[in-house]
Amino acid sequence: MTTLLLTHPVFLEHDTGPGHPERPDRMRAIDKVLAHDIFQTLKREEAPLRDDVEEWIALAHPQSYIDAIKQLRPAPGEGPVHLDGDTLLSSGSWEAALRAVGAGLHAVDAVLDKSSGVANAFCQVRPCGHHAETARAMGFCIFNNIAIAGMYARRKHGAERIAVVDFDVHHGNGTQDIFWSDKDLFFASTHQMPLYPGTGALAETGVGNIFNAPLRPGDGGEPFREAMESRILPALRNFGPDLVLISAGFDAHRDDPLANLQLVESDFAWATGALAEVARRQAGGRLVSMLEGGYNLTGLARSVAVHVKGLMDAGS
């Protein structure tokens, strides 16, 4: 069994403009670190552009929203369109967004197919997705890649209980919004609070399926691990997922410019192992991770490296 890595050159064409933290260099930094010999056994495939992708996006977003994004996309040579203050749509963004969703769909297909030889998957994609609400782009996100992947697993493959765990430093408000009222969709998040987007309080519980564990500015590995061990991992085990999905943001790293948590690579490695162990015990090892944030290029690359290595170790 192997770990599947999905990415595509078109993710470089999502042009967010000069000075934007969510920039194409993030992909280049990850490409460089994953070119190391220790990652030679990864199964590498391109994120697909599926003919049916809009059908699956519509599981999480209304068709009117999908059509609005499509109509707003600028033509080649035209400047970017602002969907909100920090979320841009360039001429290359539409295909990138569709392939980001397609990566999640393909990863789900692979890990749920026992004959594929794929134990788990990492989707190295952009734009990220966890802030995209049902009908609102925000926080660098256009479509909610992880929520769509989870709902696709249920609709296409009959996986009944879908869990998303989000350790990005920013709360995954979009995934929470989409999952809010469905008891068979589980969402748990560690995140800094107060911080953008302002959601993620302990009291936000949905229908008993939402588990937030906010951390304070300056918190490091010990409070992060305690939050995971005392709140998130027990709830995840109790939920009994058929599939574990990770919103893997690495902007809780101590060197990240957008927040104030103090995690280091070993914390992300630990979280990867803990979540993979739950997936092994309760979901047959079925796990898909999708890239969210992480804006210090060195911290991002090193954190992705330990995360992917953890997935490889779990799947071997």
Say if residues 142 and 234 touch (Cβ distance below 8 Å): no
Written as six digits, the tokens of 257 are 């410019």
- Catalytic residue (choose from 131, 170, 253, 307): 131
**101 CB contacts (<8 Å, ≥6 apart)?**
53, 56, 57, 129, 143, 145, 148, 149
Kindly list the distances between the CA atom of residue 280 and the CA atoms of 147, 188, 287, 306, in Å, as whole numbers in the listed order: 21, 18, 9, 19
Beta strand 287-291 with 118-123: parallel, antiparallel or unpaired? parallel
Other residues' Cβ atoms within 10 Å of the Cβ of residue 87: 23
> What sign does the CA torsion over 259, 262, 265, 271 have?
negative
129/23 Cα distance (integer angstroms): 15
Q: What is the DSSP letter of 240?
A: -
Size (the chain), residues: 316
In the residue annotation, 131 being an active-site residue is answered as yes
307/294 Cα distance (integer angstroms): 13
- List active site positions: 131
